[in-house]
Amino acid sequence: MSTFILLLITGLGLGALYFLVASGLSLIYGLMGVLNFAHGSFLTLSAFAGWEVGRRIGLDTLTGFLVAILVGAIVAALTEFLLIRPLYERHIEQVLVTVGLSLATVALFEGIWGPDPINIQRMPWLIETTTIAGAPVPNSVFIAIGAAVLVLIGLLVFLRKTRYGLIIRAGVENRSMVTALGIDVRRAFTLVFTIGGIAAGIGGVLASNYFGYVSPLMGGSLLIFAFIVTVIGGLGSLAGAAVASILVAVLQQFTNYYWGYGDLIVVLLLAVVLLVRPQGLLGRKAA
């Protein structure tokens, strides 16, 4: 029973990391129609930034966490402003630019920090465990789950209750009409990218603490499963991304433990969903 509880809770923690990456992807695609293949680079750079702050300046973990979020937000905003904004309605060029940026940043990170994973020094409390029903669960798992829940609630409140959230949703439906009302939709779209970068920054710091290392390839590895989660949940659906994150990570965790084929099972699940429900679990069917 303790093994089942441990696999379930750690699966939820892994799903939380998937969601933190997938939420930015889903938000950007759902509101702007942009598939951002460079999203993993935001996560990786944020993780390295948080680690460097703690290593070089000796600041506390909270400061490194805030620096990582700030780096993710700034890089995402600059990416939208300099690279994506001139390419709206040109989807092939968007994909090529973001894929190129992803490959270039991995090479850059390897040139700066080397290709091998770097073990990080974590707070003692994060390394410790909390026993639940006989299962020793790492405390870093609870932090990841709590952060994912807060990000989901914050995104839903932002989109449904705030002025900019309403502007963004209206701009997606009818950009020309919103512009005719004197509202600069471009700023709102930059804000969407910035929020996605913040989610990636949070995910980067939590992923480095969850796995115990930082690596130039960490963001790319998580991005693969985040894309799978986004497709299974339904492109553009935050709720779908949350449900799919839990489903994929828990299934992957149990399958890896008992049979060792977790990644294969996830790919098979993706294939089944695409065959049975192409729009995803909670996605809307195209008109």
Residue 131 β-bridge partners: 136
pLDDT on residue 58: 66
Residue 261 identity (one-letter amino acid): Y
| C-alpha torsion sign, points 208, 41, 115, 57 | negative
3-state secondary structure of 63: helix
Residues 6+ away with beta carbon under 8 Å from 170: 177, 178
Virtual torsion, Cα 96, 97, 98, 101, nearest 10 deg: 120
Q: What are phi and psi of 82, to 5 degrees?
A: -90, -35
Nearest Cα to Cα of residue 201 among 18, 15, 20, 25 = 20
- Domains identified in the chain and CATH numbers: 2-276 (1.10.3470)
pLDDT tens by residue, 44-93: 999 999 888 877 776 556 777 889 999 999 999 999 999 888 887 787 88
| pLDDT at site 186 | 74
Spans of the chain, pLDDT less than 70: 58-61, 171-175, 178, 181, 285-287
11: left (phi over 0), alpha (psi -120 to 50) or beta: alpha
Strands (E) in the chain, as ranges, are 118-119, 129-132, 135-138, 213-214
Give the pLDDT score at 174. 67
Q: What does DSSP assign to residue 85?
A: G
pTM of the model: 0.90
